[in-house]
Structure 1
């Protein structure tokens, strides 16, 4: 009997200890979104001109974090969503053309196929027809130069790629490439220099739902880190192909200091013009959110936030009449203003200063 009582006591103590242990396990900590901060974006790699800053800078408001990535560190982005899409590097002004002739392979495409092609922005004489070289500036994935990658391998065409020299990027060899789907649900990339006939590099690129894209460098023949995970950035400041009016028409043009938001992760933006409202950045509060018009366009900010210098590089300033209200993918709403970006407004070209403040927690 005493032995039985001892076994019961031991079982009771074991159960009690286990229950206490479970109850004392620490809960998973989820950091609250940042209340706001002021950041100086690190767009410069070394001594390059600020107007040709070598980095793209990704910003996550809720974490007070910036991530600087060299624009020339990647060439192609492979979409991780349901569709099979490949993007060019607009931040180097990369341009491409599809070879639509029947029975063309990587081996048969040669330097002769590039005759007469520029696949580049002409800053001196830009033409509307040149938009065909570049992916849509609005980030629309149904309007990429490289067509949707077909499940039928033979339907996918050879692409000629000029990797781009926008913003002081050194010229690199033109590339011919072909993308197909692989058996694992991702992509297979084959490519080589335009004169190559037999020695081609193959890269397998898996999809990863944590990211908008997986990126590949044609210099290294490998995947590289570019964008942070899709829930971990809200906007990117960068040099890129954009558009401008020239000879009464819209044409592609290389811009410095562009700001794009993370459209693919659900970030939306409202532009507030203080000339049209009594609200200022300082006075805008949660009660004013309903009066703001949020748009999903990735270029709501674009180049609007600043007044560019003249052709001699003189002048230029932040447009102090504008500020922005941004809703991130988690529903947090921040107000954003640009403080400086160039010497004439007290800043440093290539290192813009931004200020943001949490207006409403998601």
Structure 2
């Protein structure tokens, strides 16, 4: 009898040990689960770059540096550049509250507004080349492109703001490339387009001018981006600008303007620099006669006049005429405040053979002055 009791006691002990082990596992799992709920995964914050030197990659192939095929987006805090083919997109659909569409000035695009609102009713007979031609040096060309004289490219777009009433949205003829169309251009390259609202986004209707049916493409607003970009030849949205919080300036060729205030004329430039003002970037030009690049420090930030104009830098950072003097403008440098409040000072070191540089591959230097 005592032997039987001993066997039963041992079996009971083993069962209790097993139950205790299972309970321990359940208890530990509960603890870990509670910890995972109470303690969120740590957010890793990458500090902004302290500064660097960067050679922009504007050359995509064998093209001349004065017509570099890439636009190059720069993010100072990440020490990152993003080269994008200028010809990779046609239209940019604004992601903000307004319903506006921009043209690809970096590829020389132009539009002509028609009186018609039915895309199928538009034929080759609706094309008057003079209405779509951009004459470089002309002072009456601004309605054919987004007015580059504006501080914000959305202020005067060539395509009117998209109405919620479909019948109020006109058809436009669109020439995707060229810049200067002073001589007759190939009608086969011309598109007819109409843009409508669709909920919180857009619907694009498009076809080649000679085509009798059109395609449609829905374009959603993406709040991470300034614009959603579309390629008509590809019939799809394409990646162009990085996320609006991930770039500060872009170096490019573009339709722009020249001339005295009040009599500006349309012209095309290479080596233009635009800031991401829609993404909250501001900038200031500093004369080296008042403060040197080396001497500019955090104490100077408070008295710096930051502007939201997209072309604070523009083409003023370099000299091209006379040819013997071409090179970086050593009399100025720039201060950039990004959307996160980080402040960088920026200077260009070279871009031309005269300053030991390479056209299409400018070298810039920047330094963190104040962390946001």
TM over 0.5: yes
Q: Which residues of 2 match residues 49-198 of structure 1 at below 5 A?
A: 49-101=64-116, 104-117=117-130, 119-123=132-136, 126-137=137-148, 138=150, 139-166=152-179, 173-183=189-199, 185-196=200-211, 198=212
Counterpart position of 2:251: 237
Structure with larger Rg: 2
- Compute the TM-score of the two structures, normalised by the length of structure 2: 0.87
Counterpart position of 1:305: 317
Shift of 1:292: 1.1
Shift of 1:314: 5.2
Counterpart position of 1:42: 57
Q: Which runs of 5+ in 2 are unaligned?
A: 1-12
1:316 counterpart (315, 320, 326): 326
> 1:90·1:241 contact (CA, 8 Å) conserved in 2?
yes
Shift of 1:47: 0.9
C-alpha separation in 2, matches of 1:77 and 1:21 = 42
C-alpha separation in 1, matches of 2:173 and 2:157 = 14
- Residue 132 of structure 1 aligns to a residue whose secondary structure is helix
> 2:253·2:271 contact (CA, 8 Å) conserved in 1?
yes
> 1:167·1:239 contact (CA, 8 Å) conserved in 2?
no
- Residue 82 of structure 1 aligns to a residue whose secondary structure is coil
- Compute the TM-score of the two structures, normalised by the length of structure 1: 0.90
Shift of 1:88: 0.4
Q: Deviations over 1:61-101 (max 9, x none)?
A: 00000000111110000001111111000111211121135
- Distance verdict in 2 for CA 1:248–1:14, change over 3 Å: closer
> 1:56·1:68 contact (CA, 8 Å) conserved in 2?
yes
- 1:200 aligned to 2:211? no
- Distance verdict in 2 for CA 1:146–1:24, change over 3 Å: closer
C-alpha separation in 2, matches of 1:177 and 1:119 = 14
Q: Which runs of 5+ in 1 are unaligned?
A: none
Counterpart position of 2:4: none
- Distance verdict in 2 for CA 1:167–1:338, change over 3 Å: farther
The RMSD of aligned alpha carbons is 2.6
> 2:350·2:356 contact (CA, 8 Å) conserved in 1?
yes
> 2:135·2:180 contact (CA, 8 Å) conserved in 1?
no
- 1:30 aligned to 2:41? no
- Distance verdict in 2 for CA 1:49–1:156, change over 3 Å: same
- 1:261 aligned to 2:275? yes
Q: Structure 1 or 2: larger helix share?
A: 2
- Distance verdict in 2 for CA 1:23–1:339, change over 3 Å: same
Aligned residues: 351
- Residue 121 of structure 2 aligns to a residue whose secondary structure is coil
